[in-house]
Structure 1
Amino acid sequence: MLGVILMCFFCIFLGLGGRFSLIWVSSLMLLGFIFKLMFMMMSTGEVIGGSQFYPIILDWVSFCFILLSGWVVLLGIWSGLGHLLFGLRLYIGLMLIMLIFLCVFFGVWNLLLFFFMFESTMFPIILIVGIWGAQPERILANYYFFMYTMLGGFPVMVFIMLGYGVYLGFGLWYMLEEYLLVGGGVFLLMISAFLCKLPLFGLHLWLPKAHVEAPVGGSIVLAGLLLKLGGYGMMRLVFVVWVKFGILFLIPLGLGIWGAFVCGMICMRQIDVKSLIAYSSVGHMSLCVGGLLVCFFWGFKGKFLLLLAHGLVSPALFGAGNCIYERSGSRVMMAMGGYQAGFSVLGFFFFFFFLACNFGMPPSINFFGELSLYFGLLEKDILVFGMLGAGMVITGIAMLKFYSKVFNGECLKYYMEGGLNLREGIFFYFILVLLLIMSVFLIV
């Protein structure tokens, strides 16, 4: 399963080809890995490798997230051509290491290895932000990221170590049921690592800092994949323990619903493009937490669809923001305006990704994911409808405000002319095609 990725390492570190040869070889091999995985899934059914490798098992949920990992890592490598001035081989190597960790994480059934891969994905991102970040504040952003990840994961590590002497391998998942008979508070400790990585509103302070200081490739992988680790972990965990934790689920559920509303208000006041996208992600992920914890079918399906959609839409938003930054030299919206006249192609992609997808307009997959989440939450308590509706409207207003200011406002300082270059065109059209395919096949 990982042979194609390991071959990429040989091409990179043995010095085969120049700058663009490395990118093309890595991209083609990753695409080959994805198509091979799709063929295996279609030919063997629901589970891949379950009889050959006991700890490795792959259902349709894992399969979709592994495909998403290959796509987003490919986009992260491709976007690196625009801003990397040194260390291209190291950059691609870190991206491929990240892909290995993600493939094992999404396909493993051993809880100890599951948690080890979950924590290991932190180190490639820390190196990418620390090496290729532009500002000195990247060190502080890495501190925040490291501390939130480690402190959130410490209770989970202790919990696993306490039970690993009794339960081994596959059965380690089922120790959760016995331990949670002691008290429901263990549940909150058990999901703390996933809530920090998702992140839930209130545990999100590391995310805007990391996004602002990361290069565009790091932001793409961070938003497209690392946030999905927390969502996937909760999807696996909640259906083992949801009967046992009683009313304590109201704490993360309330924070999730409240966070979706407050993040919309925060987006209204943002002037930095990256911060706007980051807080929009926090709002969507908080909504995912609320939808999953109601433990209904609609909540689970809505979170699954929204995680997959956000895994492609969020990289597209950061890529679009980087296009403006490369041409204007600024991420501050106060210095932007009137770009529609000279850069209409980017205006179309901004409209599609910011409004049609991020805002959740039909027929995008985000619309069906958010609609399923709302059905699941309303099935639990109809009183949340007002806050959910207000949060959705406020987020839409923030997106419209940003788009109107940047593309339809008065030209202040910069005037961009011309269209997308080859790298940017491939990047945006690739995401556009994937989103259209997902909107057709996953909502059925």
Structure 2
Amino acid sequence: MLEFLFLSVLWLFKPIYFLLFAVLFSFLIFNNFSWGGLFLVLDSYSFILLIVMSLFILGIIIISEKNNNLLILSEILVFICIVFFIPSNMMMLYMFFELSMFPILVMILGYGSQIEKINSSYYLMFYAAFCSFPFLFVYFKSNFLLVFTYYNFVISWEMFFILSLSFMMKFPIYFLHLWLPKAHVEAPTTASMLLAGLLLKLGTAGFLRILGSLSFVHNNVWILIAFLGMILGSFCCVFQSDSKALAAYSSVTHMSFLLLSLVFITMSSKISSVMLMLAHGYTSTLMFYLIGEFYHTSGSRMIYFMSSFFSSSMIMGILFSVVFLSNSGVPPSLSFLSEFLVISNSLLISKSMFLMIFIYFVVSFYYSLFLITSSLMGKSFHNFNTWNIGFSVPLVLMMYNVFWLSVFY
């Protein structure tokens, strides 16, 4: 089974073969469940689904990206992410977690279009460094006993807080999120798609692994931070003029919602958070892809100039509306199902939570709808490459794919 993964590395310079072998690997992993090796062990179906999602995103990138170097960097990043989802060793987990920074940094610094990309790379590096050193400290203090991938022993609240910091930065929760909009705005479209679709899932997958220890400490702080991130992040979205920054802040709000779901620590909230990870991965990838297509055609990312999609290209208009509606959680999209589960969970725990979630939903529906209405109507003509946009239909299908429910239940 693993030989397919290593074969895919040999084909690094032929992206299509790389994708083929990685897909074969993901199919075999479904059959050969919980294979235990020296370093890699597969412990839950949710990680397989994340691997499948990363391959989907890579497929769309291979079809749409013309720059060969960006393609190779994307392959390296997807490989790092796949190996991150299946280690049995905490040190390996940390190693690949940090290694995933490298391809994204090269993408931003090498292929970003504005000079601010240096500033955003500084943000990325310093956030990563400051939030990750404490993790190594915890690892050292535990006498290197954290060999297995799951933390399920009793640790103090402070220790858990330090431990979760490095994952929180990749979430990104509000207060540690500042690098995300900066990196997104400077990165090329391919890097944005990978950053939103894959890199944010590393934080959540890592947090899933340390959830066992969260059962022993009180988690009100996390619920508070999650609510702050949801509501403040969605208000940030309303006041954005750059559409890419809007998409970046909207992924901050979704990730805060995911954190809220995770810290309930019930079975249903775990299921809904994994579904939200999948939904967010597909939706945000498509959001950045469509905004990037508009940017390549018109040379502007301002929401003020986003207009006349329907008179320019029908398929672009329809896909744009479908993607941003899915972003705001409209049924029957995957994000609606997961958000419904989270809301029912929070209602069981506390009635006052519903008011906060209601505010979040109103605001997030507003900014998604505002973007759709402002971009569909208009008289000018944009010459979109519709052949390219048609390729994103598979991701739209995955975004509305309720089939995942049968895997979880």
CA deviation string 1:117-151 (max 9, x = no partner): 11111111101111011111111111111111111
1:388 equivalent to 2:357? Answer yes
Aligned amino acid, residue 266 of structure 1: C
How big is the shift at 1:158? Answer: 0.8
Gap runs ≥5 in structure 1: 14-21
- Work out whether residues 309 and 435 of structure 1, in 8 Å CA contact, stay in contact via their aligned partners in 2: yes
1:429 aligns with 393
Q: Deviations over 1:356-399 (max 9, x none)?
A: x1111111111001111112222222101111111111111111
Please give the per-residue CA displacement for 1:31-55, whole angstroms capped at 9, x wherever unaligned.
34224422441x34xx3312x4464
Is structure 2 residue 21 aligned with structure 1 residue 48? no
**2:215·2:265 contact (CA, 8 Å) conserved in 1?**
no
CA contact (8 A) 1:257 1:287 kept: yes
Residue from 275, 291, 296 that aligns with 1:305: 275
CA contact 2:293–2:384 (8 Å) conserved in 1: no
1:169 maps to a residue whose letter is: V
Deviation digits for residues 154-177 of structure 1, max 9, x if unmatched? 111110122244x2633x745x62
1:93 to partner: Cα distance = 2.6
User: Quick check: 1:48–1:57 contact (8 Å CA) kept in 2?
Assistant: yes
Equivalent runs, 1:3-14 vs 2, <5 Å: 3-4=3-4, 6-11=6-11, 13=13
Note the C-alpha offset of 1:11: 4.3
Which residue is equivalent to 1:19? none
Report the CA distance between 1:418 and its aligned residue: 6.1
Distance 1:353 1:150, change over 3 A: same
CA distance, structure 1, for counterparts of residue 307 and residue 186 of structure 2: 24
Provide the residue aligned with 1:241 in structure 2: 213
| Contact map agreement 2:8 2:17 (CA 8 A) in 1 | no
Query: What are the Cα deviations for residues 100-128 of structure 1, in whole angstroms up to 9, with x where unaligned?
Result: 22122100121111111111111111011
Does the residue aligned with 1:294 lie in a helix, a strand or coil?
A: coil
2:183 aligned with 1:210: yes
- Provide, for residues 324-348 of structure 1, a one-character-per-residue CA deviation record: whole Å limited to 9, x for no partner: 1111110012223222122221010
**TM-score, structure 1 as length reference:** 0.86
Separation in structure 2 between the aligned mates of residue 164 and residue 73 of structure 1, nearest angstrom: 39
Larger displacement relative to structure 2 (249-258 or 117-126): 249-258
1:440 to 389, 403, 407: 403
Residue 415 of structure 1 is matched in structure 2 by 381
Residue type at the aligned position of 2:395: I
- CA deviation after TM superposition for structure 1 residue 297, in Å: 2.3
Change in Cα spacing, 1:40 to 1:198, as seen in structure 2 (3 Å) is: closer
The whole-number CA distance in structure 2 between the counterparts of 1:11 and 1:39 is 19
For 1:333 and 1:185, locate their aligned partners in 2 and report how far apart those are by CA, in whole Å: 43
Superposed, 1:65-84 pairs within 5 Å as 65-81=50-66, 84=67
> What does 1:32-431 correspond to in 2, within 5 Å?
32-41=21-30, 43-44=31-32, 47-50=33-36, 52-53=37-38, 55-81=40-66, 84=67, 88=68, 90-165=69-144, 167=145, 169-170=147-148, 173-174=150-151, 177-178=153-154, 180=155, 183-238=156-211, 240-246=212-218, 249-355=219-325, 357-408=326-377, 410-411=378-379, 414-417=380-383, 420-421=386-387, 423-426=388-391, 428-431=392-395
Give the distance between the partners of 2:146 and 2:310, measured in 1 at CA: 59
- Partner secondary structure for residue 271 of structure 1: coil
Change (3 A) 1:303 1:439: same
Q: For 2:279 and 2:8, how far apart are their aligned partners in 1?
A: 27
The residue type paired with residue 134 of structure 2 is P
Q: Deviations over 1:172-220 (max 9, x none)?
A: 745x625x1xx31111111111111010111110000000000011001
Check if 1:30 corresponds to 2:15.
no
Give the CA RMSD over aligned residues: 2.0
Task: State the identity as a percent.
Answer: 27
Query: Which moves more between the two structures, 364-373 or 256-265?
Result: 256-265
Question: Using the alignment, how far apart are the partners of 1:35 and 1:365 within structure 2?
Answer: 25
For normalisation by structure 2, the TM-score amounts to 0.93
* Secondary structure, aligned partner of 2:185: helix
Change in Cα spacing, 1:256 to 1:150, as seen in structure 2 (3 Å) is same
User: Which moves more between the two structures, 290-299 or 72-81?
Assistant: 72-81
Structure-2 change in CA distance of 1:418 and 1:243 (3 Å): closer
Give yes or no for contact 2:39–2:87 (8 Å, CA) kept in 1. no
* Residues 225/343 of structure 1: CA separation in 2 closer, same or farther (3 Å cut): same
Instruction: Determine the C-alpha separation between the residues in 2 that align with 1:54 and 1:148.
Output: 28
| Residue 104 to residue 40, structure 1, CA distance change in 2 (3 Å) | closer
Q: How many residues get paired?
A: 407
Whether the 8 Å CA contact 1:197–1:229 is kept in 2: the answer is yes
- In 1, the alpha carbon distance for the partners of 2:16 and 2:34 equals 24
Q: CA deviation at 1:432?
A: 2.0
Partner SS state of residue 177, structure 1: coil
Between the aligned partners of 1:440 and 1:12, the Cα distance in structure 2 is 32
Please tell me the residue identity of whatever aligns with 1:402. Answer: L
Shift of 1:228: 0.5
CA distance in 1, matches of 2:190, 2:5: 18
